[in-house]
Structure 1
Amino acid sequence: MTDKYASYVAIRAVVVFDQAKKHVMYKHVVHYALAIARRQHGCIALNEVITDADEPLYRNRLLDVVARDALFLSNDPWGNFVVQHVLSMYDLRCKHNVAVSLRGHCVDLSFKKYGSYIVERLLEAEVSMGVVVVELLKCDGDRLMRLARSEFGNFVVLKALKVTQEMNRVYLFRDLVQKLMPFRHLLLRSHGSNIANILETRCLN
């Protein structure tokens, strides 16, 4: 599963084996999922298996492993791709579980390239969006300003503003705007210029 070429054989085996052999394969994959996820070719193979798994029981077990160790994997150079993948599958139970695992760490992750992708995925669903926005609102104002001005974090803050509007979470949108408003002038000439534009629109309204 972690070899550049042998992984193709393993992925194919999961598809063509009979049920008895598939179950043996799935058990091994579940057992070694974290080790597989943290390897360059392993993370690709694991994503393939999760996508193609035709056994709901084992698929859910794999999703549970990823969700349970989401923080560990999110900070791994290869494991983060597995977290991103499961969040793109629109499995609401899994999204909720990942959000619970990452609660209290969303701001830290948002400063990082791949971490910000994960947090943006969480913002896309109602079951996980609240966890991220509440954490943004709880963090220190200066830290939120730095996040909004940062290369990757600005996309998270911008998305938080947009989804709270689109999902009609008026109170969350209002609170986020109020917390960011004192820093509007600092956002203008930075990565946070698009955030400043939204704040400017609010002022005009």
Structure 2
Amino acid sequence: MQETEQSEKDMIGSLLDDDGSECSEFRSSITKSQQHSQSPVKSFKDVKEIPIVNDEGGQQEFPSNDPKNFYFTVQSAFIQQRQHSLSHEFHQYMVPQPPIYYPYQDGYFSQKRTKRLQSSTDSEQTISQQCQDQYASLIIQQSFIQGNDFQRDKIFKALIDDLPLLSKHKFGNYVIQKIIENSNQNIRTLIFEQLQFKILEMCYDKFGCRVIQKLLEYIQNQQKIQLIQQIKGQVLNLIFDQCGNHVIQKIIDLACDAEFLIDVVTNNVDYIVSHPYGCRIAQKCLEIFPNQKLQQLYISLIPLCEKLSFCQYGNYIVQHMINQGPPKGFEVIGKFIKTRILEVSQDKYASNVAQKYITYAQEDDIANICKILMNNCVPPMLLILINNQFGNYVMQNFYQKCNDKQKEQIQIQINKYEDHQFTQFGRHFLQFLARCHAC
């Protein structure tokens, strides 16, 4: 307390000796001024609301008699310094930074990715090198899509010499695909000419085959024919290749000078339809080309239907023939299914063929199958199929195709069996029957 009074004496001087009332009034004004000046400035907006004094003396005092209208002495130099500091902070945190490459969508990348892109920019990488980075390639794709003609030309000219390399790169191939999609025919022609002598090599590449497929979609018909001519000598090898078969499928989808593939499949039908990649080409031919152009292929496939039904990949060919094939093929397939219904229904792959046949079978065919299942052999054929892992699904499909009389016969036969005679798959079929009767 004594130290406070001593400081007041030093500050006020002889006023303490003259008049006590003036001292108390001056003390209250000093206290209020100190409290007000120590209050922190919270934001740039608060500083703007404080009155700035531009008097010749550099400062101005406001009346302090009215507590409601009290203002502290304003130092103009302090205000200008504080404004400059907050203005710098405001600009740093509120004004968006300029884009790294070209204008792109705001907020497209996280802060971590942006820092990584900034570091790659600082290392003075070329656009071609940036295309080989996971995040930078995305930026370049967006830049090409959203940029103007000048920016697109700049990107393309920087990449044209490295097109074969980037087309086979795991990130660069996406940039090339976006350029093909979003450019004009002149640029697509330049890309085709640049890749023309490496097309076959790219067809076998995991990433290059995607660029070739994209070219087939967008280049002109004359260029498509030139591309196909280059790979005709290696069609069979491409059919059996994991990457190349996608290029062949794209050629069939476009149906541009692709009828030669029907002859290739027909002449090698035994190997193609049972191959994991070759069966895709055979299915695609059966789906895309009209039946009048597939007569020779169907003639080659019909004798193989029984064998292909038990094949992991060939069963899809047989299912397609049941659905869209010629009547002769449907007749041949139905004949061997009815003859070998027990064996076919219990096989993992042939059971799918049996279900497909039952779906499209006529009433006479269903009646014939019902007679076969109702025989008096031991154990009963119906019970064997109901308790089988795959056969119970065939029987569920068969039951839905039966008429009311046939369903009643099946129900009578099932009631003859006791609960312990049904496996877990048989109980699945019983649950299926309960749901059907509940409906």
Q: Please, what TM-score do these two structures have when normalized by structure 2?
A: 0.39
Q: Residue 184 in 1 paired to residue 382 in 2?
A: yes
Higher normalized contact order (CA 8 Å, seq sep 6+, divided by chain length): 1
Residue by residue over 1:128-159, the C-alpha shift from the partner in whole angstroms, topping out at 9 and shown as x without a partner, is 35414424414794x44211111121111121
Q: Give yes or no for the alignment of 1:12 onto 2:214.
A: yes
Change (3 A) 1:121 1:110: same
Cα distance change, pair 162–97 in 1 and its aligned pair in 2 (3 A): farther
Indicate how the Cα distance of structure 1 residues 196 and 21 shifts in structure 2: closer, same or farther if over 3 A, else same: closer
CA shift for structure 1 position 44: 1.4
| Largest Rg, 1 or 2 | 2
RMSD: 2.9
How far off is 1:94 after superposition? 5.1
Relative to structure 1, the CA distance from residue 25 to residue 61 in structure 2 (aligned partners, 3 Å threshold; closer, same or farther) is: same
2:332 equivalent in structure 1: 134
TM-score normalized with structure 1 length: 0.77
Cα 1:2/1:97, change in 2 over 3 Å: farther
Distance change >3 Å, CA 128–CA 185, structure 1 → 2: farther
Say which of 287, 290, 305 aligns to 1:106.
Answer: 305
Match of residue 239, structure 2, among 37, 57, 63: 37
How far has the Cα of 1:204 moved from its partner? 3.7
CA contact (8 A) 2:306 2:336 kept: no
Q: How many residues are treated as equivalent by the alignment?
A: 196
- The structure whose residues are more often helix, as a share, is 1
1:146 matched to 2:319? The reply is no
Instruction: Report the CA distance between 1:111 and its aligned residue.
Output: 1.5
Spell out, residue by residue over 1:72-109, the C-alpha distance to the aligned partner (whole angstroms, 9 max, x if none). Answer: 21111211121222233363235544332222221222
Q: Distance in 2 between matches of 1:62 and 1:99?
A: 14
Q: Using the alignment, how far apart are the partners of 1:121 and 1:76 within structure 2?
A: 16
Q: In structure 2, what is the equivalent of residue 74 of structure 1?
A: 273
Q: Which runs of 5+ in 1 are unaligned?
A: none
Residues 95 and 128 in structure 1, CA contact (< 8 A), matched pair in contact too: no
- Give the Cα–Cα distance (whole angstroms) in 2 for the partners of residues 96 and 175 of structure 1: 30
CA, structure 1 residues 173+65, in 2 after alignment: closer, same or farther (shift >3 Å)?
A: farther
Contact 1:64–1:94 (Cα < 8 Å) also in 2: no
What are the ranges of 5 or more consecutive residues in structure 2 without an aligned counterpart? Answer: 1-202, 376-380, 409-439
